[in-house]
Amino acid sequence: MLSDNEFKKLLQINNPEDMLRVRINLDKQTMEHDPILEKMMPQSETIWVKRIGANHAKVYNIPFFADKISLHDIIRIEYIEGTLPVFVNVIDRHTYKIVIEYQSENENVSENFKTLKSYFGSFGIEIEGFVAGHAFLAVPCFKLLSDCTKIIDHAPDLIVRYMVNGLGEVEQTWKTPQRRTIRQSN
């Protein structure tokens, strides 16, 4: 894991002091209700943000658990003495998050990730890996979900399945010969 200073250098931030870690308390405001995940979920997670005002920040990474917050969103934060700043709410949504599972059975996991990064990047969609075989897509809000699913369906044949969260719906599509789709609205 990178230290705070290494992460700031990696992002090539001009003013590293503007970069903060912010705590997100995991609750109904920050994530969809999932009884299975709820049992193994931590109470909070942290994300990197860049301060853009006294109580405002821009999100610089895709949260793992908090699915109603995504990359480049503008959020309001609250400072509490003696602890990390705390997420309050999203002010301006810039992206939504799609979780993808991609082929990782062989030694080419990093090559598969690079292939997907290049492919999605050509559509203005950013990708961030979190464990081998799984990644998040940060899709700009101006892209329609239906257009995005077409982009995923035409992706290199590496994606096993994907799931859309944080939009009041969960969609899982298995890319198999049968192409089974399960859709569930909250």
Would you say 62 and 160 are in contact if contact means Cβ atoms under 8 Å apart? no
pLDDT at residue 29, as a whole number: 57
**Residue 127: strand, helix, or coil:** strand
Domain-wise residue ranges, the chain: 4-92, 95-185
- What does DSSP assign to residue 68? T
- How far apart CA 150 and CA 132 sit, in angstroms, is 24
Domain 95-185 carries which CATH code?
Answer: 3.30.70
Encode pLDDT of 71-129 as tens digits.
999 999 999 898 899 999 999 988 888 888 887 776 778 888 899 999 999 999 999 98
Residues 6+ apart with CB under 8 A from 181: 171, 172, 173, 174
pLDDT at residue 166, as a whole number: 46
pLDDT at residue 40, as a whole number: 63
pLDDT at residue 102, as a whole number: 85
* Sign of the CA dihedral running 27, 77, 134, 125: positive
Residues 6+ apart with CB under 8 A from 142: none
Residues 6+ apart with CB under 8 A from 124: 140, 143
